[in-house]
Structure 1
Amino acid sequence: MIVGLTGGIGSGKSTILEYFKSFGIPVYIADDEAKKLMNRSKVIKRKLISLFGEKAYVDDILNRPYLASKIFNDKTLLSKMNAIVHPKVASHFKRWLNSQDSEYVIKEVAIIFENNLQDQYDYIITVVADEDLRMQRVMKRDNVSQEKVKAIMKNQWSDADKIEKSDFVIVNDDLQKAKKQVRDIHNMLLKILKH
């Protein structure tokens, strides 16, 4: 069973994933794997250089700030980049999935709904948190301005829209409560699998 986990920037998805891992559940973080593939795959490298030019890589390493500046306000470029990277990540995930032997796995994707990927999952968990708290977390974590965080949030679906399409919701404002919600969802998923 494949469970998708999503949530807006700063909602604390990484923390929630750690709790699932503590129950022995394998976790696949699509963004992290995409970054690795963008640096490892010769095919992706070649295609990204042809799309963005030679500045896409510096010393053979993906020039993330440059790419981010290019795609941030250009939806067409973003779509073209995703068309290069997403299929590779999808086939990498399939290989990873075949090597797992747990009852279910979690695949974390920040923009499941934004990219209309919800059909790829048996269940979807959305992690939500108070917007001010999310703002503080991201500003501290990434050392960025409030304006930058707001701009990113504006490109993502609202929590309300995500909740409406999700099977489970974890409110991540209090760590103890969030941990309990993870345990409850974990037990529910195991119950579903037994039927």
Structure 2
Amino acid sequence: MIKVGLTGGIGSGKTTVVNFFKELGVPVYIADLEAKKLMNTSKSIQKNLIKVFGPQAYVNGKLNRPYLAHQVFNDEEKLKAINSIVHPKVAKHFSKWLQQQNAPYCIQENAIIFENNKAADFDFIISVTAPKDIRIERVLKRDSTSKSEIMARINNQWDQAKKNELANFIIENTTLTDTKKQVKKIHEILLKAASD
């Protein structure tokens, strides 16, 4: 089975693109969503996060997301620490999930494929992109956050142009009709690649 990584900066519209692929019957694994679930259910993740970030990392056995977000905000070392605890578990979970899929190809949606040196894990990579002002506007509508917080998150991720250079496919996600067309075209190419 062909493994496709789908990435893009915050607000680029990865979820929209992923939903179009799902409509075409493609199995999709959302790495961020699964990471959140694992952080709440895995005893070893819980133990290691408490070891690094203290008992405040969990409140009544549930992940204290605001506290952890504040800890890693603008602190590269703490961000690396959290990633080294969570990412190996997500990778293991993804491998198990893959074995249960029956399709020509599947997608893992993951914002930081390149940042985590994971590009080699995939046969193809799709980069979802949109102009910065549109991305900021989308996140402001979606999250209760400020423009400066969004900018900090954008600056923590690789530059979009750098991601696009390394990707096999680029989806310019500005209008839904156009995005859907691009998804369909890539879908056909991937189906062909899977049958070759």
TM-score bin, normalised by smaller chain: over 0.9
| Contact 2:10–2:154 (CA under 8 A) maintained in structure 1 | yes
Three-state SS of the structure 2 residue aligned to 1:6 is strand
Tell me which residue corresponds to 1:18: 19
Q: In the alignment, does 2:76 pair up with 1:92?
A: no
Q: Per-residue CA shift, 1:52-84, capped at 9, x if unaligned?
A: 001000111100110011111221111111111
1:107 alignment partner AA? Q
Aligned-residue CA RMSD in angstroms? 0.7
2 CA distance for matches of 1:144 and 1:80?
Answer: 24
Three-state SS of the structure 2 residue aligned to 1:163 is helix
Tell me which residue corresponds to 2:176: 175
2 CA distance for matches of 1:116 and 1:58?
Answer: 32
Q: Per-residue CA shift, 1:108-128, capped at 9, x if unaligned?
A: 110111111100100000000
1:184 alignment partner AA? K
Consecutive unaligned residues in structure 1, runs of 5 or more? none
> What is the CA-CA distance between 1:193 and the residue it aligns to?
1.6
The TM-score normalised by the length of structure 2 is 0.98
1:5 alignment partner AA? L
Consecutive unaligned residues in structure 2, runs of 5 or more? none
1:190 alignment partner AA? L
2 CA distance for matches of 1:23 and 1:41?
Answer: 32
Among all aligned residue pairs of Structure 1 and Structure 2, give the percentage whose two residues are the same amino acid.
Answer: 54
1 CA distance for matches of 2:79 and 2:175?
Answer: 34
1 CA distance for matches of 2:192 and 2:26?
Answer: 15
Q: In the alignment, does 2:185 pair up with 1:184?
A: yes
What is the number of equivalent residue pairs in this alignment? 195
Could you list the structure 1 runs, at least 4 aligned residues long, displaced by more than 6 angstroms after superposition: none
Query: Mapping of 1:113-192 within 5 angstroms?
Result: 113-192=114-193
2 CA distance for matches of 1:144 and 1:41?
Answer: 28
2:117 alignment partner AA? N
2 CA distance for matches of 1:79 and 1:175?
Answer: 35
Three-state SS of the structure 1 residue aligned to 2:24 is coil
The TM-score normalised by the length of structure 1 is 0.98
1 CA distance for matches of 2:120 and 2:92?
Answer: 16
| Contact 2:104–2:195 (CA under 8 A) maintained in structure 1 | no
1:132 alignment partner AA? D
